[in-house]
Amino acid sequence: DDDDDDDNNDETLGTKIRGCTAGRGGHAAFASILWSAPASDPTTGATTDFYGALGKLPADVLLLFGSEDAWCTPAVAKRMHATLADRRGGVDGDGDGGGDGDGGGDSPAERYVSVENAGHCPNHEAPAAVASVLLPWIGASRRSKATLVSSERSRIKEQWGDAVLREVSIEESRNLGMVDRIVSTMVG
């Protein structure tokens, strides 16, 4: 009997997803993300917040955020971008907020690409757009110099419509308004 094979055949995907939050576990998981204790250094025991830990990351970082993400808003991405740029303290010597990012011991690179018409999961919502940025990033020997977006605003065809890619400058990321500065403190 076909009904025996699928005892949830009348439930919609939305109902199943929402069901994950119906119990105490879903709310606790969400709350732990927002209000978790500060990170601690296992060697010293010193604590730091999210941005403090991010500022110590010694690796190249590509931030690829959906512009319509209601949880990790563009303000959060911009603050992360600025924090990553500030971690070197001008080590690369050019003052542009961009590391050399060639993996050879120079200061790490940080880049931020916004995916317009995508939300919290751009890798699922705009897979072709995400791949068009990730592939050159992964293959680059100098990630700070790699061409990630072919023009100021690159339009990528997705199955559902178009996604638009835009690389966000460090100057834009550092120029957060008061509301964005407040919103971005809610992460970390």
For the segment 22-57, what is each residue's pLDDT rounded down to a tens digit?
665 666 666 666 666 777 777 888 888 888 888 888
Q: Which of 29-33, 64-68, 99-103: highest mean pLDDT?
A: 64-68
Q: How confident is the model at residue 169 (pLDDT cuts 50, 70, 90)?
A: very high
Quote the mean pLDDT of the chain.
80
Mean predicted confidence (pLDDT) in 140-156: 91
How many residues would you count in the chain?
A: 188
Q: Could you tell me which residue, 187 or 94, shows the higher pLDDT? A: 187
pLDDT at 24: 58
Q: Could you tell me which residue, 54 or 113, shows the higher pLDDT? A: 113
Residue 174, pLDDT > 50, answer yes
The model carries a pTM of 0.73
pLDDT at 183: 82
pLDDT at 35: 66
pLDDT at 22: 66
Residue 59: exposure state from Cβ atoms within 10 A (0-12, 13-18, ≥19) = exposed
Mean predicted confidence (pLDDT) in 148-172: 92
Percent of the chain past pLDDT 70, that is, above it, reads 69
